[in-house]
Amino acid sequence: MRRLIPVLVAGVALACAGTSAAKSGVPPLLFPVVGPVTYTNDFGQMRAGGPHQGNDLMGTKREPVVAVEEGTVQFWTTSASAGCMLYLHGVSGTMYEYIHLNNDLTTGNDNKGTCVAGVSYAPGLVDGQHVDAGQLIGYLGDSGDANGIHPHLHFEVHPKGGKAVAPFPYLQKAAQLLAPAPPSGMAFTLKLTGTIVDATPTELTLTVTSTASWPSHVKQTKLSRVITLIATAPLVTVGQKVVVWTVPAPGTIEAISGAPGALTVDRVL
């Protein structure tokens, strides 16, 4: 399923990947982690093994990691420093590295897991598989030489498969996802908890503080996302705290990123 039509997601124009890649080698990306992370432009900083070749996205263990563009995945499990890692060979020609994926079986640092689907990689994912943009491909962790350090995803960007460049400017513009893309052909539903910002006869806008999604069962907390949904004469007031359920929606980039008008209210509690 190719999702390369021009759309506007979270203020980012996602034009055809081929057109964008012709200029910079890197198309507009989806953010690689679903959930709150912190990061700085630490590309090029000196580390024990030399200059840092990516950006470290500091997050919570087992946060979902997704494909930033459509492409093919390649597992890599033989690097002591990288631990459990994955290459994503994007259809644009850009290659991405996902390093220090999860290797723990519990919430603690048990190191009892191996670099396999369901632990490091998404359940059912196989080496060489073609994936859609936004599809779950792995879980954030602390494997390799990140063992015992704050869980994070070391993320690298290699235009045209060549030398690494700073991911920071691409991450700053990347669309943040509310949920991973559901399996092809399936719909997904969101439970949004937040506060009403505005309500019109046709729309409902709220500041979302937490989400839960199905069928992925991914939950996010400590958010501050303003989302506008389609709604019919919602009986709410500005400042009201609510729980909103959405109508099942197809897994388009617009929908999984919460673009204005891409989701419809089913009910408000």
Q: Are 77 and 113 in contact (CB under 8 A)?
A: no
Rounded to whole angstroms, the Cα distance separating 159 from 167 reads 10
Q: What is the pLDDT of residue 235?
A: 86
- Which domains are present in the chain? 7-173 (2.70.70.10), 187-268 (2.40.50)
Name residue 230's beta-bridge partners.
203, 264
Q: What is the pLDDT of residue 24?
A: 65
Token pair for 23: 């200029």
pTM of the model: 0.87
Kindly tell me if the per-residue pLDDT of 127 is higher than 50. yes
Q: What is the mean pLDDT of residues 187-196?
A: 98
Q: What is the pLDDT of residues 23-78, one digit of tens each?
A: 668 999 999 999 999 999 988 787 777 788 899 999 999 999 999 999 999 999 99
Q: Are 199 and 231 in contact (CB under 8 A)?
A: yes
Question: For residue 206, what is the enclosing H or E element?
Answer: strand 203-214
Exposure pattern of 4-42 as b/e (b: 16+ CB <10 Å)? beebebbebebeebeebbeeebbbbbbbbbbbebebeee
The letter for the amino acid at 206 is L
Token pair for 219: 């939950």
Q: Is 161 helix (H, G, I), strand (E, B) or coil?
A: helix
Q: What is the pLDDT of residue 210?
A: 96
